[in-house]
Amino acid sequence: MSEISNKYSAVGNTLIINDNEIVFDYRIDYCTEINEMLVILLSIPVDKEYNENVFGVSLTDKKIKWQIGKQQYNPVYKQQCPFVSVIVNEGNLRLNNWCGLYFIVDPLTGNVLKKGETR
């Protein structure tokens, strides 16, 4: 993914904000802005067990402000379910994971405000 704006760009594992580089463990799959925060979704390979793959990066400080917490192991899927989409809609930040759960998250702190099932 290589999304370019006048403030930031993302290439491979690296996020560049005004010449400041932040390198993540996995490839950046998607990023979106909300309230001067950049929300980063990492693409987790299918053979990796990792579900803390969403980060909030401050566009003003150019630093990582939060990382989503670890979710419970899902016995049905026999794996940790990583997030697969990040959606900003009407001021809400919604994260959806592979196993069909969604989390409404405070974009400034990463705190989970609400969670439920989706498909």
Partner 1 sequence: MSGISSKALKPNYSENRRKYNGGSQLQNKEFTDGTGLELYTTNYRMYDPQIGRFNQIDPFAEVNEDASTYTYANNNPILFNDPLGLLSDSSHPQNLTPVTVNPQKKNNGGNNVANLLPLLHTKAASDNVSTGIRPVNLQDIRFLTGEQANAGFKEPPFPRNSTVTEYRTTRPLRLVRVSNSKINGARGGWLVDAKSIRGMSPQDIKQNLAIENEPDQIGEVEVPTGTTVRVGPVGANGFGPGNIRIMQYQIISRIPNESFFTPVPLQPPPQTPIEPIEPIDPIEPIEPIEPIDPIIP
β-pairing, 101-105 vs 92-97, is antiparallel
> Counting contacts by CB under 8 A, is residue 9 touching partner 1?
no
Stretch near partner 1 under the rule CB under 8 A, chosen from 9-17, 53-61, 62-70, 94-102 = 94-102
Binding residues with partner 1: total (CB under 8 A): 25
Burial class (CB in 10 A: 0-12, 13-18, 19+), 11: middle
Q: 32-91: which residues touch partner 1 (CB under 8 A)?
A: 43, 45-46, 74-79, 82, 84-85, 87, 89
Cβ atoms < 10 Å from Cβ of 105: 25
Q: Is 35 left (phi over 0), alpha (psi -120 to 50) or beta?
A: left
Q: Which of 13, 29, 64, 106 binds partner 1 (CB under 8 A)?
A: 29
- Residues near partner 1 (CB under 8 A) are 29, 43, 45-46, 74-79, 82, 84-85, 87, 89, 94, 96, 98-100, 102, 116-119
